[in-house]
């Protein structure tokens, strides 16, 4: 968890120094309008996905999107087969927003990912605006990244809570609707952000092991109909299957291997 702690500190520095108005300015190389089949792959915690949304909406293909001098998104011209593949992935994802939206944003996330929580704390409200005004159809897929650290290094209860929190989210989506699902996602990320802030203030790394348990406690109390009962081996199988699925999807779409972390956004014009 020491590596995670250092990374969280670095991410927090970005939060404190981030420029919220960045998404309004198109930075990087100039792009030429394209008719269809444009996608952007964006990795990490930054406002760069919002620039990619604007580029996709306007039909512009740009090789990279940068933030503070660092490349955060890669632009790609999709083949007809890749575009259809993306549409099929979208149809099998948890969807929030209008299916008539011009831009689709697929977020690969992990409820235990601190960078996902920080992105949501900093930019979640802005993404909601895009969803609510009909610009973006938001799609969610599971990418178990940080939860694997709990599996490998412990504590095991944090691993179990992280996976069960994910499994509860599709249940909430199916039983209570997309709005309840999105509210639950925002809430558990808010819980994680609170514990991360506690760690940054106190230096007590215990907080980084506790927040998956707190996330699951909230979900189970608010949505008892979605409490998960699974064995440890079943949870491991679920994580391995999801991880393999993401690897296959990334290969099919041509997502660079060094971008495979969370949050990972695939943004394309529909």
At 161-197, the pLDDT tens digits run: 999 999 999 999 999 999 999 999 999 999 999 999 9
Number of domains comprising the chain: 1
Mean pLDDT (whole number) for 250-265:
96
- Average pLDDT over the chain, rounded to whole? 89
Mean pLDDT (whole number) for 222-240:
97
pLDDT at 30 over 50: no
pLDDT at 31 over 60: no
Asked whether residue 20 is assigned to any structural domain, the reply reads no
Helix (H, G, I), strand (E, B) or coil at 260: coil
pLDDT at 44 over 50: yes
> For the whole model, what pTM was predicted?
0.86
Per-residue b or e along 69-81, where b marks 16 or more CB atoms closer than 10 Å to that residue's CB = eeebbbbbebeee
Q: What pLDDT shows up at residue 270?
A: 76
Q: What is the percent of the chain with per-residue pLDDT over 70, rounded to a whole number? A: 87
Q: What pLDDT shows up at residue 36?
A: 57
Asked whether residue 19 is assigned to any structural domain, the reply reads no
- Kindly report, residue by residue over 60-77, the tens digit of the pLDDT: 999 999 999 999 999 999
DSSP symbols for 91-150: HTSEEES-TT-SEEEEEEE-TT-HHHHHHHHHHHHHHHHHHHTTSEEEEEEE--SHHHHH
Asked whether residue 138 is assigned to any structural domain, the reply reads yes
Strand intervals (E) in the chain: 32-33, 38-43, 60-61, 64-67, 70-77, 94-96, 103-109, 136-142, 264-269
Residue 64 belongs to domain with CATH number: 3.40.30
Query: Which range marks the domain in which residue 155 is found?
Result: 2-14+34-269
Mean pLDDT (whole number) for 239-253:
97
- Kindly report, residue by residue over 80-110, the tens digit of the pLDDT: 999 999 999 999 999 999 999 999 999 999 9
Least confident among 21-35, 111-125, 186-200, 234-248: 21-35
Q: What pLDDT shows up at residue 26?
A: 37
Q: What pLDDT shows up at residue 17?
A: 39
Mean pLDDT (whole number) for 242-269:
97
Asked whether residue 26 is assigned to any structural domain, the reply reads no
Confidence label for 6 from pLDDT (cuts 50, 70 and 90): very low
Asked whether residue 264 is assigned to any structural domain, the reply reads yes
Asked whether residue 173 is assigned to any structural domain, the reply reads yes
Mean pLDDT (whole number) for 226-244:
97
Asked whether residue 98 is assigned to any structural domain, the reply reads yes
Q: Which residue has the higher pLDDT, 8 or 154?
A: 154
H or E element that contains 62? none
Q: What pLDDT shows up at residue 23?
A: 36
Asked whether residue 44 is assigned to any structural domain, the reply reads yes
């Amino acid at each position: 968890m020491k590596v995670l702690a250092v990374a969280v500190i670095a991410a927090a520095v970005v939060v404190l120094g981030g420029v919220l108005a960045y998404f309004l300015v198109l930075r990087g190389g100039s792009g030429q309008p394209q008719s269809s089949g444009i996608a952007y792959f964006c990795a990490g915690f930054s406002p760069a996905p919002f620039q990619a949304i604007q580029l996709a909406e306007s039909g512009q293909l740009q090789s990279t999107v940068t933030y503070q001098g660092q490349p955060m998104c890669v632009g790609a011209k999709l083949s007809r087969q890749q575009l259809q593949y993306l549409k099929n992935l979208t149809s099998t994802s948890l969807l929030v927003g209008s299916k008539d939206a011009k831009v689709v944003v697929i977020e690969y996330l992990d409820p235990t990912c601190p960078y996902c929580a920080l992105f949501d704390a900093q930019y979640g409200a802005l993404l909601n605006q895009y969803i609510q005004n009909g610009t973006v159809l938001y799609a969610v897929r599971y990418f178990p990244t940080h939860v694997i650290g709990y599996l490998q290094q412990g504590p095991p209860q944090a691993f179990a809570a992280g996976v069960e929190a994910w499994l509860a989210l599709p249940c909430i989506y199916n039983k209570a609707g997309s709005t309840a699902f999105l509210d639950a996602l925002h809430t558990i990320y808010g819980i994680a952000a609170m514990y991360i802030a506690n760690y940054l203030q106190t230096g007590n790394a215990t907080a980084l092991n506790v927040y998956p348990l707190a996330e699951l406690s909230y979900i189970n109390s608010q949505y008892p109909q979605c409490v998960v009962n699974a064995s440890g081996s079943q949870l491991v199988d679920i994580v391995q299957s999801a991880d393999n699925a993401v690897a296959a999807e990334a290969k099919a779409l041509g997502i660079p291997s060094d971008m495979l972390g969370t949050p990972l956004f695939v943004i394309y014009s529909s």
